Structure 1
Amino acid sequence: MTLVKFNPNRDNKKNGLMTGFNDVFDSIFNDTFFSDRLMSRVPAANISESQDHYHVELAAPGLKKEDFKISLERDVLSISAEQSAQNDLQERSFNKREFSYNSFVRSFTLPDSADDNGIDAKYENGVLCINIPKREEAKIQSRQIEIK
């Protein structure tokens, strides 16, 4: 299958009728305001694995640890945060206001090898770190094999 990149300028040159109209929409929807808002709805996550644990790191700067709620239902780990927008700057009139982080929910399905009884979490420097221990039988075993 071939991936073909869409180029709006190429189509505008062909039909020539609505070139200005399409340029207006391109400038609106390609604005960094819209693209940044769509990308920032949920915080980015890093998921890694060590010998004894799975690690989930969520980049959520500007929140407090009291803003987070972590729950486990069956094998789904859900991380949510809710922060009310504070209106303590009543005397200011904003021309553009982009940072009001309302709420988000991220859910992760735990593997069968995860031990859900020992999950711990900490929040420091804007990163929520969750450590999920592995079951004893799932821990990475390594040993030397003798060559005969």
Structure 2
Amino acid sequence: MSDLATLPKNGGLANKKTLSGFPSLSNWFDDFSMGEFPSLFSSNFNTGMSTPKVNIKEEADAFIVEMAVPGLKKSDFNINLDNNTLSISAELKENNEEKDEGYTRREFGYSSFKRIFTLPETVEDSKINAKYNEGILNIHLPKKEEAKQKPARSIKVS
């Protein structure tokens, strides 16, 4: 298993090629963060939602994207694949109303995020799956058979 990839300030990873001719994690992962929806008010009823951070791991047979998004439900996520573009988004609308002895108090809030990633052609897009557990969204991006890392082996000289 490789180390986690980290995103520098500009949102891209360092560019490098692998020996097999397939793009490495570094040169396929273009992240176009759509930014956070800014909090319009400083009061506590509109908390906003910052752009979630991601960890990306490259394993021998897959790429794993882990996104920290606590406080959401599975149904809050919208994950789409269009050609080689993976988009992950969530949108929350909150509307609270209290009625008490002659007055009505209404507070509402809106928050959202959207992350977009360009996937390499080595990802088997028909087998992508996502799971959400304890505030972490995990997206499993399996590699095509020809892109999987082969184990080292000895070759006999005849």
Taking structure 1 as the reference length, the TM-score comes to 0.62
Superimposed CA distance per residue, residues 51-93 of structure 1 (whole angstroms, 9 cap, x where no aligned partner):
11111111000000000010001101000101112425778x9
Aligned to 1:58: 67
Residue 44 of structure 1 is matched in structure 2 by: 53
> Is residue 140 of structure 2 the alignment partner of residue 131 of structure 1?
yes
Matches of 1:146 and 1:45, distance apart in 2? 40
1:109 is aligned with what amino acid?
Answer: T
**C-alpha distance in structure 2 between counterparts of 1:75 and 1:130, whole Å:** 15
Distance 2:99 2:138 in 1: 35
Secondary structure in 1 aligned to 2:75?
helix
Shift of 1:50: 1.1
- Greater Cα offset, 137-146 or 122-131: 137-146
Counterpart of 1:68 in structure 2 is 77
Q: What does residue range 1-148 of structure 1 map to in structure 2 within 5 Å?
A: 41-87=50-96, 102-146=111-155
* Identity across the alignment (%): 45
Q: Aligned AA for 1:105? A: K
More RCO (CA 8 Å, sep 6+): 2
Against the structure 1 CA distance between its residues 125 and 109, is the aligned structure 2 distance closer, same or farther, given a 3 Å change threshold? same
Q: Which has the higher helix share?
A: 1
Secondary structure at the residue paired with 1:117?
helix
Count of residue pairs brought into register by the alignment: 106
For 1:42 and 1:53, locate their aligned partners in 2 and report how far apart those are by CA, in whole Å. Answer: 24
* SS of corresponding position for 2:96: coil
The one-letter amino acid paired with 2:93 is S
Which is greater in Rg?
1
In structure 2, relative to structure 1, the CA distance for the partners of 1:114 and 1:89 (3 Å cut) is farther
